[in-house]
Amino acid sequence: MTLHTLQELVYAAIHNIKEHGTFPTENGLYDYKKQLHVKSQDPPHESFLKNFAKDIVAFGNNDGGIMLIGVEQDQSTGVCTDVGLSTDQMSLIRSIDLNDVTQRLRKVLKAGVNIDLQPFQIGSRHFYYLLIEKQSQILIPAADYPDYKLQKGEVIYRGSGKNELANESTTDFNRFLHKKAEEKHADFMKIWSQLLPEVFQINPKDVIILDPGANKVYAFNSSTNSLSSSELEIEA
């Protein structure tokens, strides 16, 4: 999901909490955190990443996610309580520069991550929500980062209410790959179903396909009678 879609969902969720006292079920989309665990010597963005880096990777590898910060959930009953954040916690989160966070994540994951962090209130109590956009590529730590609870090569994704490790076993990894293949297939079919009327009027031999992500161009090769690729310089 995009940040825009997640924004609409979190607005609806906050409205239901305020008006009806009903909380979304903790699942593949929603999660709760009572407060941040911090060390006084850490800069704000490091405190943030130590608390949320693993969740950001997991939600980013799934369909995106929403974290409500300042809400406590009883793990045995599933009951949520909007306890709110202390003044110190609010000040800490308010001082976080998301540019520092995303730049650090880019070094950790070798990929960009889109997130948003915003305050909200319920009565006199203060909270934050964190939105994590679904990422177009799989996020994998490039090295071990024990402070972030991340290990090199781990493929973490959000399962049903918890973070799952996709490459812990062959079965887990196959399940994750199947899920991603279904997502790609759905995206592919959606795009091509919109293009089909035009495609039928075009000779495939006259089509050139650009792949900016891989810096390649694909076209019909008359000598081999097949689609072939070559490197392409694509300026940003």
Segment 28-79, tens digit of pLDDT: 899 999 999 988 788 999 999 999 999 999 999 988 999 999 999 988 888 9
Percentage with pLDDT > 90 across the chain? 51
Which whole number is the average pLDDT over 136-140? 86
3-class secondary structure, 226: strand
Q: Are 176 and 184 in contact (CB under 8 A)?
A: no
pLDDT at 115 over 90: yes
CB of 108 within 8 A of CB of 29?
no
Over residues 188-204, mean pLDDT: 58
Mapped onto helix, strand or coil, the DSSP state of residue 192 is helix
Scan for tokens 């997502």, then name that residue: 183
Mean pLDDT computed over 159-167? 77
Q: What is the mean pLDDT of residues 177-193?
A: 64
Q: Looking at the whole model, is its pTM more than 0.85?
A: no
Predicted confidence at residue 197, as pLDDT, reads: 58
Evaluate if residue 95 carries a pLDDT over 90: yes
